[in-house]
A and B are shown apart, each in its own frame.
Chain A
Amino acid sequence: MIRMKPVDIVIVGFGWTGAIMGIELADTGLKILALERGAYRDTSPDFVYPHNADELAYGIRGELFQPLARETVTVRHAVSDTAVPYRQYGSFLFGNNVGGAGIHWNGQHYRPSPEDLEIHSHISKRYGQKFMPDDMQIQDYGVAYDELEPYLEQFEYLCGTSGTAGNLNGEIKPGGNPFEGARKKPYPNPAVADTYGAKLFADAARAVGYHPFPQPSDNASRPYTNPHGVRLGPCNLCGYCERFGCFMYSKASPQTTILPVLMRKPNFELRTHSHVTKINLDSSGKRATGVTYIDAQGQQVEQPADLVIVSAFQMHNVRLMLLSGIGTPYDPNTGKGVIGKNYAYQMMSSIGVFFDKDVAINPFIGGGAGGVQIVDDFNADHFDHGPHGFVGGAYIYGGQTGGRPIQQLIVPPGTPSWGAGWKKAAKDNYLHATTVATHGSVMSYRDRYLDLDPTYKDAFGLPLLRITFDWHDNEYKMSQFVTERAQEIVKQMNPKATSLTLRKPGDHYDIRQYQTTHTTGGVIQGASPDSSALNRFQQSWDVSNVFVTGASAFPQNLGYNPTGLIGGLTYMSVKAIRETYLKQPGPLVQA
């Protein structure tokens, strides 16, 4: 075992939240070390045109994704089942290398609705405790929207988010989302122009009586210089966004917003090819002494540190906590324990919308987030759930992010999957089809959780993380209801044909189909060590010099894309570290 010189702060995983932690702590002058299992990556030379416009390499083979050959997860539907490995990419996509999933994401940048953060209190108050099924165990975040608002804004101004404000200091503004929480400042950039599919959707949604607005986008609509002095360029809607790096410096990522400044700080060091396998504890088990990692040569390295910030992807955070023995593992039989608790996902549906040949959709024109229109009338608690008997909701999305033909070509229902009929349908419909989709919440349940697999191992011989997950009735009901609203809009669009993907009771969670990479929970934040792993500042209740960032802190999943909330919670956490914790290390909230 190699023993390195101690550092003040070690950051495990160098994606969005690791980079935010690094830059926000750099001015303390403390020695900060970030450990990243992958390689260094930057716009040039790694994402340059034309090599980036390669659907097979990036979109299908997953050049930017974590190699599953070395480490994956296992999946089962129920506590009594035996899990098997997620051997090929499907349902969700792990990022890899510096920047993490912040490289290959779409840039859909949402804030939570205020009630999302206090969902248990809110639902209890408005509908009564009995409105929630017995096995649903949703919880409040321990942070209210008004308190988080400055941090949500800070992340938007870092990213140069392009959008139209809907609620500015309580005043509802035309063209924005009238259901959003009040924002103190408008978006830093105006919305990206609509693609044609989005325009048709928004016109129809208005005609039906809903409130469409441009999707808040971290594909910049114009040149932008962020508060660190880092510059982004305008998005050209290239159609190679999600699953790809951005060759235009338009998509916000750690590389395009933080790293040019952070990498020059003398007290900051990044070590790539450094795979952390354990957070080390002292003999009391109450204090972390640093981490152990495996370097590029395969050697075990011990890295002492006073403060450990766990900033890997949601699932990797949970696994590292379990491998390190921090906090009590969750037990679905008793409902006790916290690590692995409340794993959740998102519930999607999708409608293919096919027009005649006089409607030129040009589906290849697309940003990952920009150029799409959203209806938020049926998300969160934006409508009265009383008559419908479910908790949560979904936003409805109109338009497309690109028309990459291997993955994104759609054909009308009844088309054979191959042969002359498939080919003719592909030819006739490609230019004239768009998509309307719903993007919905999933609540947390007693029998949905994460733990270590008893059988399958990674390349180092360590147990894989095991997912126990399937849909519950609440989510089928939610998806059915919001999809019907989406169908009303689609009908108004007057297409010649539509197709529908809707998950109905009896349909099991299918890991073969890409749904979202928005996996959540497992190291959740909350009000009490009995029910959560972290306090409201994302500090471990059990080991106070360990903080855990990212969507692993979400007590249940919301209908929005998670990154905006992840960024806001990280900024709130790092401010507490900088201004309170570092002055007097110890618990920021007394248990």
Chain B
Amino acid sequence: MSSKQPSSPSRRDFLRQSLVAVPAVSLMGTAAIAQTQSGTAATPAVAAGPKYTPRYFTAPEWDFLEAAVDRLIPSNEDGPGAVEAGVPEFLDRQMEAAYGHGGLWYMQGPFVPDSPPTLGYQLRYTPRELYRKGIAAIDDWCQKQHNQKFAALPADQRDAILHQLEKGEIKLDDVPTAAFFSQLLTNTKEGYFADPMYGGNKQMGAWKMIGFPGARADFADWVEQPGKVYPFGPVSIEGAKS
């Protein structure tokens, strides 16, 4: 197939070099550096602090997640991307919680997965199982179609595949891809915006980006001043301030 000699690595290198060559990058700080890295899943943007070691996800699954969430919420001048915000860590920690084990869902059969979508989730998989099966199936599909796993593909190709997954256009055995994508996107946004104690939203970066004051939870003085910009940055449940 034509994908035997993909042109993407050279394109990736070109993108990286061209961005690094722009003088303004140094002024834009870590966000811009992360952006240059976001094109290559092999070198994901990493926030400061000790590196997290996943407990549930395997190394190939971890590569997939970093490469996927990096596209769902990319790093750029607007604010942190999902990878530097710690979303993969959040996902891994959620897999160890009751939620990941399906403990919050009714999981008794019979399962009727072809029910109308309006009747909600009807798969037999817990989140742990859905991620495990979904990632393996998508990586297999990428290997067959593109001779590489998802994580090794360039950003634009990953974007295209994620769009196909979202629309259910890729058919995989066992795993409805739209359901997998929906789970991934939902959990990614959860990790991006949840309190940092869950492993995502590092340094409350997502809250700072949008202007949410986090756990301040006291606006008695402000409701009487409608229309005034609220001046304080976020605090976290564990007492971090900004």
On A, residues with C-beta under 8 Å from B are: 49-56, 60-62, 67-69, 71-72, 75-77, 82, 84-88, 90, 192-196, 199, 234-240, 247, 359-360, 362, 364-365, 371, 403, 405-406, 409, 417-420, 422-424, 426-427, 430-431, 455-457, 508-512
Contact = CB atoms under 8 A, between A and B. Distances in A.
Given A55-B194, A56-B198, A364-B212, 4 more contacts: A55-B193, A236-B217, A403-B212, A430-B212
B18 interface: no
13 contacts: A50-B235, A52-B217, A54-B237, A69-B105, A87-B106, A193-B224, A194-B226, A196-B227, A236-B217, A238-B217, A409-B193, A423-B78, A430-B212
- The 6 A-B pairs at the shortest CB distance, nearest first, are namely A53-B215, A196-B226, A238-B217, A430-B210, A56-B194, A405-B193
Interface in B171-229: 185, 188-190, 193-195, 198, 206-207, 209-220, 222-224, 226-229
A6 B162 CA distance: 63
B107 to A, nearest CB: 7
B229 A364 contact: no
B116 A508 contact: yes
Contacts of A426: 209-210
B177 to A, nearest CB: 15
Contacts of A237: 219-220, 222-223
B103 interface: yes
B217 A419 contact: no
A511 B108 CA distance: 18
A362 B230 CA distance: 7
A236 B112 contact: no
Contacts of B214: 53
A68 B223 contact: no
Given A194-B226, A427-B79, A236 B220 contact: yes
Contacts of B104: 61-62, 67-69, 88
Contact of A50 (B106, B188, B215): B215
B115 A510 contact: no
A87 B218 contact: no
B72 interface: yes
Nearest to B212: A405
Contacts of B194: 55-56, 60, 406
A87 B223 contact: no
Contacts of A85: 106, 108, 122
A363 to B, nearest CB: 9
Interface string B161-173: 0100010000000
Contacts of A55: 193-195
A546 to B, nearest CB: 29
Contacts of B193: 55, 405-406, 409
Given A240-B217, A360-B229, A418-B185, A51 B108 contact: no
B110 interface: yes
Contact of A87 (B121, B159, B190): B121
A115 B120 CA distance: 36
Contact of A359 (B99, B110, B227, B230): B227
Given A49-B217, A420-B74, A427-B210, A88 B190 contact: no
Contacts of A420: 74, 76, 78
B219 A427 contact: no
Contacts of B115: 84
A587 B117 CA distance: 47
Which has the most chain B C-beta neighbours within 10 Å: A69, A235, A362, A365?
Answer: A362
B230 A68 contact: no
- Tier of interface size on chain B: 35 or more
A365 B50 CA distance: 35
Interface of B: 71-74, 76, 78-79, 99, 102-108, 110, 112, 115-122, 159, 162, 166, 185, 188-190, 193-195, 198, 206-207, 209-220, 222-224, 226-230, 235, 237, 239
Contact of A82 (B112, B120, B235): B112
A457 B102 CA distance: 17
Contact of B189 (A75, A364, A406): A406
Contacts of B235: 50
What secondary structure prevails in chain A residues at the interface with B?
Answer: loop
A86 B115 CA distance: 12
Contacts of B106: 68-69, 71-72, 85-88
A97 to B, nearest CB: 16
Nearest to B222: A365
A419 B74 contact: yes
A420 B222 CA distance: 32
B107 A87 contact: yes
Contacts of B110: 455
B179 to A, nearest CB: 11
Which has the most chain A C-beta neighbours within 10 Å: B106, B120, B159?
Answer: B106
Contacts of B228: 360, 362
Contacts of A86: 106, 120
Contacts of B207: 405
Contacts of A424: 78
A238 B211 contact: no
A406 B190 contact: yes
Contacts of A510: 118
Given A405-B210, A427-B79, A431-B211, A50 B217 contact: yes
A68 B104 CA distance: 6
A233 to B, nearest CB: 11
Contact of A84 (B72, B112, B211, B213): B112
A294 to B, nearest CB: 18
A237 B72 CA distance: 33
Contacts of B206: 405
Nearest to B79: A427
B71 to A, nearest CB: 7
Contacts of A90: 120
Contacts of B220: 234-237
A193 B222 CA distance: 10
Nearest to A422: B73
A422 B216 CA distance: 26
Nearest to B99: A61
Contacts of A54: 195, 215, 237
Nearest to B193: A405
A418 B226 CA distance: 32
A60 B73 CA distance: 20
A53 B229 CA distance: 22
Nearest to A51: B237
Given A405-B212, A427-B210, A364 B219 contact: yes
A41 B107 CA distance: 27
A236 B219 contact: yes
Nearest to B119: A84
B208 to A, nearest CB: 10
Nearest to A418: B72
Contacts of A359: 227
A409 B71 CA distance: 20
A87 B71 contact: no
A338 to B, nearest CB: 27
